Amino acid sequence: MTGTLEGCAGPGFGSVPRKEDGRFVRGRGRFVDDIALPGMLHGAVLRSPYAHARIRAVDATAAESHPKVRAVITGETLAARGMAWMPTFSHDVAAVLATDKVRYQGQEVAFVVAEDRYAARDALALIDVDYEPLPPVVDARLALSPEAPVIRDDLLDRTDNHVFDWETGDADATAALFARAAHVSECDLVYPRVHPAPLETCGTVADFDRISGKLTVHATAQAPHAHRMLYARIAGIPEHRIRIIAPDIGGGFGNKVGMYPGYLCAVVGSIVTGAPVKWVEDRSENLMSTSFARDFHMHGEIAADADGHILAIRVSVLADHGAFNATAQPSKFPAGFFGVFTGSYDIAAAHCRVTGVYTNKAPGGVAYACSFRVTEAVYLVERLVDVLARDTGRDAAELRMANLLTPDRFPFRSATGWEYDSGDYPRALRTALEMADYPSVRAEQKDRWAAFERTGKGPLTGVGMSVFTEAVGAGPRRLMDIMGLGMADGAELRVHPTGSAVLRLSCMSQGQGHETTFAQIVSHELGLPVDAVEVIQGDTDNTPFGLGTYGSRSTPVSGAAASVAAGKVREQARQVAAVLLEVAADDLRWDVGTGTADGGSFSVAGVPGVSVSLREIAMAAHGGLDLPDGVEGQLAASTVYNPPNLTFPFGAYVCVVDVDPGTGEVEVRRFVAVDDCGVRINPMIVEGQIHGGLADGIGMALMELVAFDDDGNHLSASFMDYLLPTAMECPPWELAATVTPSPHHPLGAKGVGESATVGSPPAVVNAVLDAIGVRHADMPLTPAHVWRALQGRPIRPDIAIR
Amino acid sequence: MQVPAFFEYQRATSVAHVVTLLERFGPEARIVAGGHSLIPMMKLRLAQPELLVDVNDLHELAGITVEDGVLRIGALTRHAELLASPLAGEHFPILHDAERVIADPVVRNRGTIGGSVCQADPSEDLSGVFTALRAVAVVRGVDGDRTVPMREFFHGPYETAVRPAEILVELRVPLQPGAGSAYVKVDRRVGDWAVAAAGAVVSLGPGGVVEQVGIGLTAVGDADFTAVEAEDLLRGRVADEYTFAAAGEAAATHCRPVADQRGPVDYKRHLAGELTVRALRDATARAHRGGSTE
């Protein structure tokens, strides 16, 4: 780590070790599959082998007669309870268990509840489903053709596979700029379907108490409060009788935002058997049936004047949404935040059209660390800028530098209406290029190319970059909601009589280190040691309402809430201190101290030596002190934080690769990442997040892909077929920071969880294409894809390799 | 969670015990050693054996020795042991080349040489290595031992010359003093199956003429993992870039790859040629140095 963290100093902040690691490194984390309740039964899901088929009959009698089977739930069982279909996050419905048709391979058809997980699996083979196979829609580009079979014939009057059209920007202004541009470059790009693939798959233990009527759901839930409302709506159980408990979660990346049929079946299984029911999906089930990500087919155009100034960008997108439109994103944003596709550049006009289509593939979407499709937007613009540089004979770094927004333009309203809060893009790019020693890499590249032309042997060197702008921390609530729930989050802070504290949050860590970061925020505000602040999350009976953790929103939203709640407690303490010291509250000065168990202190202005610590105040606030009217006593406050705007973290990445032109193999030799996420509360945790995101980016750029064959068979249903990067594919990361605080966040912080995932794929792809001198080829750039791109016959990634 | 179907389990106490159990249970019995192929297949219920015969206690099946001009590798030898064996590396650097790119350390610690070749996965690295080396498999059944040349060992994907009541006990590689050997592989990610791979063993005579050569190809559709046409072309010719290119072309022409998500046919065919050339180049360079990697 180099660069400056100026502006991040402050009590409580810094690279303290993660509190949660004490249990994780000892193997003492407690995940859903570690939960064993007395009398607990086990569920297993029967899935469709077909991508598209009509269900003629489901015969479960043989399974029901298995001696260890306690219940078999089919689509008909659920239909009788009005639960065969559930609402999605995107104004659609999705099947819980199929009744009429199956619409993708791996779709849920029946659910067995048995005394052990072995018997549950055995009984699946005893269920007889009579399928009538139908032709599937696999190629998204053919989904709207008149011959395409209609996937959603469950919807009234549905005659095609069209889901939505959405547009943003000013079409006329954009067209006018294109008309007078000296140069226009076009490019077709596919951001193929990938999967979040968290280490821990999704799972639940549903426990319905027939006596109290209370349902307790232990589940892998990134958004426990939103889930509680969904269970209430779908299962008809009053919301106050539902408790969601998310234990430790082993990675989410958006995969654990949505509601899955297995969860609901476990609930029904518990209701009908009267026993707790555990269901934990296996790896193949996770990869085949849960929320995918991306699957955007983009046509981009970029217009520039004769001097290389970018004038306008125009995009049309075909979005493959799978069989049900279940993308998890703010409900008024059918293409997520793709509208930020003008990126980090000063672009006068832009326009974009997105068409969503149904295909016979798993639903979900917009998971996987993407900040609601900012990933696709950044990839589009960063690839287009490289194409423009190539087409006009300009250096990619110089072209970017000449078009970046400058610091004086902030707050900046983009051509598509987004208000960027703060940024210094040229500084980030300059820092990255200096660290990479850009001129010498270019010189080396030239030498390598010359040697290749002489001998026909590699390696070839390439350098690629991206200057990305992220958009994270949704709401505000007036603009952004999930199923009508405004995107604002609560926090409750209580300081105990002896001066330690408990903070309750609506967000939910999946490995991000919330227990540490949020304790540091309280420490920063109140001067208490980080260890003296307990952080409670994930339990809906014990935490305030909020929308949860995804889209890098924990620090921007819940972090702000924690800060505001702590500020309220500090003001309560001031009132108590005023009584203790017998002075007016306004005469007290706050000193946050050095993080001792005493906490911060109030002293009397102009009277040296007269002060009282937070610990003393806490005891007094709970004691017999006679408090004035309006001061309630105790130290506790709650808040609901409704963010005024998104925060816009950014960064500049430079990637250096070597490519073997004889085999197409790529080695990522260097990766320089300069990130600016505003104030860093725990720089070590931030760097860890960046490491993970960079690895993600290398994975997507070079190997990750969910592909289907012509019959709609899923070709990536195991970790032998869906490749995740390992340490061997990752170079030693070269990180640096710049700090441009967010002007509207109480701590100046911006979210960082997804920055590196968003920013790194284009840097890697740009580097590989730069090495082989090819204008464009789609991800993943496996050896085969690279070699075929070199032959001038690039492989289409979204359909099976033939 | 993936769980296997019901099966019985026996821990074998001797090779004879293994053969007796296999005999009694018939083709639904399976030997388990490292378990890195079989257990995942059982969890996916692609394999549902009725009996697992665990051979992990049979230490007489493990170990690497040289006797009477033959390198002997016990079937229960772990990948990690082969990779760490100076004896194996000294005689046949190809073994270390290949082991370095097989899976990852955790798998190599447990997976066995015998299990790998008996699984007969079309993308198995060691299959191409042992055919290039002209190794011989020793197989034991009720009637005692019999030997099978590795070039006749593979009967198609996941099928071998080992019969239901037999167990592979050893691989024997005749020493080839002065021969150079090498293995090169292209994969999409470390630990992945080969997109394609080639192994070469080269013995040079006077004037740098190829006296004997073995070329093994993995993952490109050759049932016997061998590029016979390329071998025939090389014997008796000077080992130079020109000859290697011709051999590569022969290997590319005669292999029969199929398209999958690792790559299309034309790419795999190209790789068969390119990797054959590279393996020959490395093996020949080592032969010029007397066979060693130094």
Q: Residue B264 is nearest to which of A121, A715, A795, comparing CB atoms? A: A795
Domain residues of chain A, as ranges? 32-134+201-249+256-289, 293-406+419-474+645-790, 488-641
* Contact residues, chain B, for A118 at CB < 8 Å: 3-6
Query: From the candidates B46, B261, B275, which should be mutated to test the interface with A, based on the most A CB atoms within 10 A?
Result: B261
Question: What are the b/e assignments for A444-483, b being 16+ CB within 10 Å?
Answer: ebeebbeebeeeeebbbbbbbbbbbbbbbbbbbbeebbbb
Closest among A520, A762, A491 to A641, alpha carbons compared: A491
Asked whether the beta carbons of residue A662 and residue B274 sit closer than 8 angstroms, the reply is yes
pLDDT at B292: 73
Give per-residue pLDDT as tens, B53-75: 999 999 999 999 999 999 999 99
Which architecture does CATH list for A488-641? Answer: 2-Layer Sandwich (3.30)
Nearest chain A residue to B4, by CA: A118
Question: For residue B279, with 0-12 CB atoms within 10 Å meaning exposed, 13-18 middle and 19 or more buried, which class applies?
Answer: buried
Interfacial A residues in 28-57 facing B (CB < 8 Å) = 33
Q: Identify the CATH assignment for A32-134+201-249+256-289 out of 3.40.50.720, 3.40.50.1100, 3.20.20.140, 3.90.1170.50.
A: 3.90.1170.50
Asked whether the beta carbons of residue B270 and residue A721 sit closer than 8 angstroms, the reply is no
Global ipTM: 0.97
Distance CA A473, CA A468 (A): 16
Share of chain A above pLDDT 70, in %: 99
Asked whether the beta carbons of residue A118 and residue B188 sit closer than 8 angstroms, the reply is no
pLDDT at A366: 66
pLDDT at A45: 98
**Bond from prior residue into B34 cis (ω within 30 degrees of 0):** no
Using the predicted structure, report yes or no on whether residue A2 has a pLDDT greater than 50.
no
Using the predicted structure, report yes or no on whether residue B236 has a pLDDT greater than 50.
yes
Which amino acid type is present at position A245?
A: I
Give per-residue pLDDT as tens, A691-749: 999 999 999 999 999 999 999 999 999 999 999 999 999 999 999 999 999 999 999 99
Asked whether the beta carbons of residue B2 and residue A283 sit closer than 8 angstroms, the reply is yes
Strands A533-536 and A501-505: parallel
Average pLDDT, chain B: 96
Which pLDDT band holds residue A11 (cuts at 50, 70, 90)? confident
Asked whether the beta carbons of residue A728 and residue B190 sit closer than 8 angstroms, the reply is yes
Q: If you ran DSSP here, which 8-state letter would residue A556 be given?
A: I
Q: Residue A787 is nearest to which of B259, B267, B275, comparing CB atoms? A: B267
Give per-residue pLDDT as tens, A378-396: 999 999 999 999 999 999 9
Q: Residue A121 is nearest to which of B3, B261, B275, comparing CB atoms? A: B3
Give per-residue pLDDT as tens, A496-526: 999 999 999 999 999 999 999 999 999 999 9
Give per-residue pLDDT as tens, A575-596: 999 999 999 999 999 999 999 9
* Contact residues, chain B, for A280 at CB < 8 Å: 1
Asked whether the beta carbons of residue B45 and residue A703 sit closer than 8 angstroms, the reply is no
Average pLDDT, chain A: 96
Which architecture does CATH list for A293-406+419-474+645-790? Answer: 2-Layer Sandwich (3.30)
Asked whether the beta carbons of residue A282 and residue B188 sit closer than 8 angstroms, the reply is no
Strands A460-469 and A128-133: unpaired
pLDDT at A21: 96
Phi, psi of B7 (to 5 degrees): -155, 160
Distance to chain A for B101, nearest Cα, Å: 12
**Bond from prior residue into B93 cis (ω within 30 degrees of 0):** no
pLDDT at A367: 65
Interfacial A residues in 261-320 facing B (CB < 8 Å) = 280-284
Strands A162-169 and A349-357: antiparallel
Which pLDDT band holds residue B223 (cuts at 50, 70, 90)? confident
Give per-residue pLDDT as tens, A233-291: 999 999 999 999 999 999 999 999 999 999 999 999 999 999 999 999 999 999 999 99
Distance CA B225, CA B131 (A): 7
* Contact residues, chain B, for A788 at CB < 8 Å: 264, 266-267
* Contact residues, chain B, for A282 at CB < 8 Å: 1-2, 43
Asked whether the beta carbons of residue B267 and residue A664 sit closer than 8 angstroms, the reply is yes
Asked whether the beta carbons of residue A782 and residue B262 sit closer than 8 angstroms, the reply is yes
Asked whether the beta carbons of residue B189 and residue A716 sit closer than 8 angstroms, the reply is no
B187 neighbors B195 (Cβ within 8 angstroms) = yes
**Cα-based distances in Å from B129 to A409, B151, B226:** 63, 11, 9
Average pLDDT over residues A645-651: 98
Domains of chain B: 8-54 (3.30.43.10), 59-174 (3.30.465.10), 180-288 (3.30.390.50)
Query: Is the Cα dihedral A631, A637, A640, A644 positive or negative?
Result: positive
Question: What are the b/e assignments for A240-261, b being 16+ CB within 10 Å?
Answer: eebbbbbbbbbbbbbbbbbbbb
Q: Residue A801 is nearest to which of B2, B191, B260, comparing CB atoms? A: B260
Average pLDDT over residues A406-425: 98
Distance CA A784, CA A802 (A): 12
B255 neighbors B227 (Cβ within 8 angstroms) = yes
A567 neighbors A387 (Cβ within 8 angstroms) = no
Give per-residue pLDDT as tens, A202-229: 999 999 999 999 999 999 999 999 999 9
Distance CA B170, CA B163 (A): 15
Helix (H, G, I), strand (E, B) or coil at A104: coil
Give per-residue pLDDT as tens, A344-364: 999 999 999 999 999 999 998
Around Cβ A659, how many Cβ atoms within 10 Å? Answer: 28
Give per-residue pLDDT as tens, A289-340: 999 999 999 999 999 999 999 999 999 999 999 999 999 889 999 999 999 9
Which amino acid type is present at position A768?
A: V
Residues 6+ apart with CB under 8 A from A623: A497
* Contact residues, chain B, for A715 at CB < 8 Å: 261
Using the predicted structure, report yes or no on whether residue A424 has a pLDDT greater than 60.
yes
Which pLDDT band holds residue A463 (cuts at 50, 70, 90)? very high
**Domains A293-406+419-474+645-790 and A488-641 alike in fold:** yes
Q: Residue A784 is nearest to which of B3, B189, B195, comparing CB atoms? A: B195
Distance to chain A for B79, nearest Cα, Å: 19
Which pLDDT band holds residue A1 (cuts at 50, 70, 90)? very low
pLDDT at A363: 95
